[in-house]
Amino acid sequence: EITTWVDTTAFSGQKFDALAAHASQGENIFFLKMGKERFGELMGMETFVRVQDATGAAIPENDLFAGLR
């Protein structure tokens, strides 16, 4: 079950550019065909599953470091 949602929209351009940097794989990465703007719309949220908890932080969470700061 997903416990954490992190908004990564601000970094979607960097994520897109990182994929594009793999020039030899470019034709195989369908995400590049959608363009940077659409990629950002679709890939602007990352999800994680908390497998083990040593923090006691409440879920759902939106900060991977919740309970550690």
For the stretch 9-26, pLDDT in tens is 999 999 999 888 876 666
- pTM to 2 decimal places: 0.70
Residue 35's φ and ψ, nearest 5 degrees, are: 85, 160
Residue 29 confidence (pLDDT): 77
- Contact between 40 and 12 under an 8 Å Cβ cutoff? The reply is yes
| % of the chain surpassing 70 pLDDT | 91
- Beta strand 45-48 with 4-7 is antiparallel
